[in-house]
């Protein structure tokens, strides 16, 4: 079994602070960068070794993502079509009716999803919406699906209501490194994001947090983002890695597509530093070849968003995923065949 110690990166491992399960939370940027920059074959070997020690390498979790409230967001995230500050042609909508949400959840379950993720384009939820959101959580959970919400920043009362409703996961991405973050978003700080993650964790809700590659960040920024997540008191149970989908009308509409090998390197590093977390291929799969996705799975990605649409962006769809899974010999995770090794 691979030892994720400083000795792997040429340093001394004796002073590492580890959890009772042996997970590290004291990664240094320089040592993580050494791993990220390893010869590609060596990096993939190490990531696959860690992956096999913690997961069945041929099982991939399917999640479905639904926008329950689209557009009109007050934030200025420079990658996002839902910001009210940008002319992207997206019309703002009201909070979706409960039955529409449940209809989508039923379809997701039929298509093999085990987790249903619901997102609202808010800076933070208003109290008048929390009862409806909590009911969505309760009724989707009653279908036997894991529940996830992404609603922006949360106060203590928001978290308490979501916990009482039985929410399994809360998604709140850090997006990029703390250094580069102000270049992407100015309406809330990196510390604001970490504060919400801390509230969620303290309440006993599982954390889903990752980032986006292709925002104009450096390779070191990508590594630093993963170091931030790996050094949280507990690793996020889910780590979504997104490839930017440059959307017309946003400040990043002309951004160059991130290099495919660099993307795989980030997946591999996430797997090595957070061995027990689900690493999810999220936005951008519609632009990825089968070969690139296969490399990502080999590097330790073991979760995808299924369905033909994410919040507002295209996704490959069920037929494409079935063909890809068949080609690679992958199986979808079910409650009866969990991918995580006990």
Give the whole-angstrom CA distance, residue 285 versus residue 242: 9
Q: Are 178 and 224 in contact (CB under 8 A)?
A: yes
In order, the DSSP letters of 267-296 are: HHHHHHHSTTSEEEE-TTGGGS-HHHHHHH
Active site residue 285: no
Taking the mean position of all CA atoms in its chain, how far away is CA 32?
20
Active site residue 63: no
Q: Are 214 and 256 in contact (CB under 8 A)?
A: yes
Active site residue 296: no
**β-bridge mates for residue 59, sequence order:** 331
Catalytic residue among 63, 117, 296, 306: 117
Active site residue 155: no
Catalytic residue among 222, 265, 280, 285: 280
Active site residue 148: yes
- In the three-class reduction of DSSP (H, G, I as helix; E, B as strand; rest coil), residue 80 is classed as coil
Place of tokens 């973050």: 181
- In the three-class reduction of DSSP (H, G, I as helix; E, B as strand; rest coil), residue 260 is classed as helix
Active site residue 280: yes
Catalytic residue among 24, 193, 199, 208: 208
Burial class (CB in 10 A: 0-12, 13-18, 19+), 10: exposed
Catalytic residue among 148, 199, 222, 271: 148
Give the whole-angstrom CA distance, residue 20 versus residue 24: 10
- In the three-class reduction of DSSP (H, G, I as helix; E, B as strand; rest coil), residue 213 is classed as strand
Catalytic residue among 46, 63, 80, 193: 80
Catalytic residue among 24, 46, 77, 199: 77
Cβ neighbours around 161 below 10 Å, total:
18
Q: How far is CA 50 from CA 2, 11, 31, 55, 301, in A?
A: 6, 19, 17, 9, 12
Written as six digits, the tokens of 159 are 């978290």
**β-bridge mates for residue 33, sequence order:** none
Active site residue 117: yes
Q: Are 320 and 33 in contact (CB under 8 A)?
A: no
Residues with active-site annotation:
73, 77, 80, 117, 148, 208, 280
């Amino acid at each position: 079994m691979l030892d994720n110690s400083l000795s792997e990166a040429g340093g001394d491992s004796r002073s590492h602070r580890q959890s009772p399960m042996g997970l590290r939370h004291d990664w240094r940027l320089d040592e993580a960068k050494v791993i990220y920059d390893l010869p590609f074959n060596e990096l993939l070997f190490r990531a696959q070794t860690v992956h096999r020690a913690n997961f069945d390498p041929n099982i991939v979790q399917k999640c479905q993502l639904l926008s329950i409230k689209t557009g009109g967001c007050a934030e200025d995230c420079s990658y996002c079509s839902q910001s009210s500050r940008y002319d992207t042609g997206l019309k703002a909508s009201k909070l979706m009716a409960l039955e529409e949400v449940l209809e989508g959840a039923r379809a997701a379950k039929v298509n093999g999803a085990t987790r249903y993720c619901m997102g609202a384009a808010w800076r933070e939820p208003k109290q008048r919406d929390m009862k409806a959101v909590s009911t969505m959580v309760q009724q989707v959970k009653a279908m036997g699906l894991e529940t996830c919400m992404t609603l922006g920043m949360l106060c203590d009362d928001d978290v308490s209501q979501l916990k009482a409703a039985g929410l399994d996961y809360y998604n709140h991405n850090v997006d990029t490194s703390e250094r580069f973050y102000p270049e992407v978003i100015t309406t809330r700080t990196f510390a604001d994001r970490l504060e919400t993650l801390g509230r969620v964790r303290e309440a006993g809700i599982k954390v889903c947090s990752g980032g986006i590659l292709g925002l104009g960040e450096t390779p070191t920024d990508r590594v630093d983002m993963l170091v931030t997540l790996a050094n949280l008191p507990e690793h996020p149970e889910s780590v979504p890695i997104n490839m930017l989908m440059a959307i017309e009308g946003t400040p990043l509409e002309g951004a160059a597509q991130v290099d495919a090998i660099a993307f795989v390197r980030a997946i591999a590093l996430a797997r090595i530093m957070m061995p027990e977390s689900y690493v999810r291929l999220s936005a951008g799969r519609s632009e990825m070849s089968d070969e690139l996705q296969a490399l990502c799975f080999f590097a330790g990605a073991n979760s995808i968003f299924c369905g033909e649409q994410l919040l507002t962006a295209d996704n490959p769809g069920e037929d494409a995923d079935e063909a890809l899974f068949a080609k690679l010999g992958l199986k979808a995770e079910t409650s009866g065949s969990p991918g995580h090794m006990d």
